Amino acid sequence: MNTKLKGRDFLTTNDWTLEELEQVLDLSFKFKQERALRVPHTNILPGRELFMIFKDKSTRTRNSTETAMIQLGGHATYLPAEATQISHGDTAKEIGIIFSRYGDGIAIRDDIYLGVGQKYMEDIAKWADVPVINLESDWDHPMQMLADIMTIKEKFNNDIRGRKFVISWAYASSHAKPPAVPQGLIMMMPRFGMNVTLAMPEEFKLHPKAMEIAEKNAKEAGVNFEVVHDMDEAFKDADVVYPKSWGAYFYTDNFDEMKKIADKYKDWIADERRMSLAKKNAIYMHCLPADRGKEVTDAVIDGPQSVVYDEAENRLHTVKAVLALTIR
């Protein structure tokens, strides 16, 4: 076990080397196998405390993280925004220092406003003496990224180099979803040797810095990173398709205008016809919740190529690995 990860923050996958990310995945697979065999892990973090600050709602992230701490022998305290005095003046410095004295790790979800969440996590990490874990910001969703790559490795027997990975914008009417997942995917997947295609209407561009990192990581890994504006073109011969909605944040900051723009692209949906364009053994992925009937049809998300439940399960095993490797 790489003891160099003890005490380390995990704010974006780019902060960790490929070797370090692979080590997390190795431990994730071990934890998954041992859980199937009913091997307990409560001796790994006995008596440790993780504070979980959530400024947004969550299903998988909250419950996988809380369950992970319990299975490792520790305890997790769930702190929704209304359960703290953060909105009344508790600063990042105060949260970082005080929670470091109370416990052994701080995990944060703050993904609502562009330019806010990642900076807040970095500010807390500056003052904290314990690991600070990103449970989704406006910039990246590193815990989801680990579960995604673990799932891809499982489904292709670890034979993933050179495979075509597609992250595509898809229509949703519910709300303007944060860009953390698509940005995290384009930045991380090339590092694992996958050829990445980003598909989106012109108005739904991602952060220029994320695009720059994706291009740099692809070049260093010797793979391709391309951008297309046609969903059909993107799906052709794909091994992995990940159609997901996000807001047009880099086109307008007016949410009414954002919705009007999105409504022009209601045909951007993952349906059976589009899945037929991908390879026969291609897999469909989504971080969930998906807007059924808009982002994806029931036939696809409930079909044989969908791996969304394996993907969701792997959120547990990967967060367990990160916590086990980072918390002292």
Phi, psi of 240, deg, nearest 5: -135, 130
pLDDT value at 260 more than 70: yes
Task: Quote the pLDDT of residue 3.
Answer: 66
Q: Distance between CA 166 and CA 199 in Å, rounded?
A: 7
Annotate 282-298 with b (16+ C-beta within 10 A) or e (fewer).
bbbbbbeebbeebbbbe
Yes or no: say if 279 and 239 are a contact pair by the CB < 8 Å rule.
yes
CA angle 202, 260, 240 (to 5 degrees): 45
0.85 surpassed by pTM: yes
Largest CA distance in the chain: 55
Closest CA to 205 of 189, 188, 184, 182: 182
Q: Which residues contact 12 (CB under 8 A, 6 or more apart)?
A: 118, 134, 139, 140, 142, 184, 187
Domains in the chain, ordered, with CATH?
A: 3-141+315-326 (3.40.50.1370), 144-311 (3.40.50.1370)
- Percent with pLDDT over 90 in the chain: 95
Query: What pLDDT digit, counting tens, does each position of 270-304 carry?
Result: 999 999 999 999 999 999 999 999 999 999 999 99
- The pLDDT tens digits of the residues spanning 23-50 come to 999 999 999 999 999 999 999 999 999 9
CB contact at 8 A, 186 and 196: yes
pLDDT value of position 6: 96
Q: What's the token pair of residue 32?
A: 């998954």
Q: Is 127 exposed, middle or buried (0-12, 13-18, 19+ CB in 10 A)?
A: middle
Q: What's the mean pLDDT in 236-261?
A: 95
Are the beta carbons of 179 and 207 closer than 8 angstroms? yes
Q: Are 64 and 109 within 8 A, CB to CB?
A: no
